[in-house]
């Protein structure tokens, strides 16, 4: 018989809890610590189960499951991507995730991951740039100033010291929003009227647009020697942001090639086009940036190990700060084989009430 009254409850981190947790930790500290956990897990990449995310595509968007395990813990994320949602006042991306104990299969954490995904995406981008951008890079152009842009800016400032931003979006109100939200945080911000203006003098170019289409947000003539490109927005089949010519001039770094070849910018290239796995750069198995004039491209689509890292980090933080609810999620009969008996006991209570 189970006598542990907590065995049937799972910590649940709501949106409200997540916001308060991030603010209690501090946004910059949260991003920096999360980046360290992501890098730690990338350095032990071979121990993880890896598979391209399971995707259900429609004309309107995509719904995906992203699972992985390191043999001790199992994590997955449910996430959607529906660019047209903003027309109805909804988020383009929403998500939640679960972390479980491999030993018994019981979930250990259920959490919102809409905010958390924005944080982990930004942290991963900054970790990649630490290895791929030129030393002392300080100026970043952000093309696409929607929901992800402020997180990207905060992460790059926290990890790399980027303090000059050149912002552009086809919707000028999005650029104004981004500049307003980042005011007073130590950035020099220029609101630009074109991509050409935004990329002028940039050490790093981040593209983070949302439309599900083959697009050329960044053209070949926008990219000069030595630039690091952080391509975030192209993350599903039929959705790209960069000119193919840029890809052919760049050294391309990816998370998990079988997924990126389906979803990333490299879906435009031949299936055998050479790419470099980011984890191998972090472990020193291969080189990242080799020289000042090299163009480096992080073809970021988001991979399950990054979500695993985020789940692992949040579980650690709620043990320190709280910010969760105990959710009655798991059946816990007095005798494990007598699940039906739980119904009978509940019936008795109902009849006695």
Can you give the three-state secondary structure of the chain, one letter per residue? CCCCCCCCEEEEECHHHHHHHHHHHCHHHHHHHHHHHHHHHHCCHHHCCCCCCEEEECCCCEEEEEEEECCCEEEEEEEEECHHHHHHCCCCEEEEEEEEECCCCCEEEEEECHHHHHHHHHHHHHHHHHHHCCCCCCEEEEECCCCCHHHHHHHHHHHHCCCEEEEECCCHHHHHHHHHHHCCCCCEEEECCCHHHHHCCCCEEEECCCCCCEEEEECHHHCCCCCEEEECCCCECCEEEECHHHHHHCEEEECCHHHHHHHCHHHHCCCCCCCEEHHHHHCCCCCCCCCCCCCEEEECCCCHHHHHHHHHHHHHHHHHHCCCEEEECCCCCCCCCCHHHHHHHHHHHHHHC
| Nearest in space to 131 (alpha carbons), one of 162, 151, 163, 160 | 160
Residue 235 a catalytic site member: yes
Q: At what angle do helices 149-160 and 172-182 cross, to 10 degrees?
A: 40
**Out of 41, 169, 203, 235, which one is annotated catalytic?**
235
Q: How far apart are CA 10 and CA 107, in angstroms?
A: 7
| Nearest in space to 145 (alpha carbons), one of 167, 164, 126 | 167
Task: Name the residues annotated as catalytic.
Answer: 235
């Amino acid at each position: 018989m189970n006598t542990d009254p907590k065995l049937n409850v799972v910590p649940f981190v709501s949106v409200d809890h997540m916001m308060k947790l991030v603010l209690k930790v501090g946004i910059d500290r949260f991003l920096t610590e999360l980046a360290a956990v992501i890098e730690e897990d990338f350095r032990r990449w071979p121990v993880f189960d890896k598979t391209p995310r399971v995707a259900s595509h429609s004309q309107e968007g995509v719904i995906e499951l992203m699972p992985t395990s390191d043999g001790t813990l199992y994590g997955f994320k449910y996430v959607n991507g529906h660019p047209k949602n903003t027309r109805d006042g909804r988020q383009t991306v929403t998500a939640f995730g679960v972390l479980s104990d491999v030993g018994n299969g019981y979930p250990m954490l259920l959490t919102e991951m809409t905010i958390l995904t924005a944080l982990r995406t930004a942290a991963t981008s900054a970790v990649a740039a630490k290895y791929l951008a030129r030393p002392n890079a300080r100026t970043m152009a952000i093309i696409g100033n929607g929901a992800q842009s402020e997180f990207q800016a905060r992460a790059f400032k926290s990890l790399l010291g980027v303090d000059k931003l050149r912002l552009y979006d086809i919707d000028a109100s999005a650029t104004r929003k981004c500049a307003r939200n980042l005011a007073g945080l130590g950035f020099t911000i220029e609101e630009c009227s074109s991509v050409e203006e935004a990329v002028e003098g940039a050490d790093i170019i981040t593209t983070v647009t949302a439309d599900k289409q083959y697009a050329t947000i960044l053209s070949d003539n926008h990219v000069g020697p030595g630039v690091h490109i952080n391509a975030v927005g192209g993350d599903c089949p039929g959705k790209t942001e960069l000119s193919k010519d840029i890809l052919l001039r760049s050294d391309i770094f990816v998370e998990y090639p079988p997924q990126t070849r389906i979803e990333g910018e490299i879906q435009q290239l031949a299936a055998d086009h050479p790419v470099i796995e980011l984890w191998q750069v972090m472990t020193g198995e291969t080189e990242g940036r080799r020289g000042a004039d090299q163009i480096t491209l992080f073809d970021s689509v988001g991979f399950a190990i990054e979500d695993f890292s985020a789940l692992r980090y949040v579980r650690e933080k709620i043990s320190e700060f709280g910010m969760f609810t105990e959710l009655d999620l798991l059946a816990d009969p007095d005798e494990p084989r007598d699940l039906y008996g739980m119904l009978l006991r509940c019936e008795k209570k109902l009849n006695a009430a």
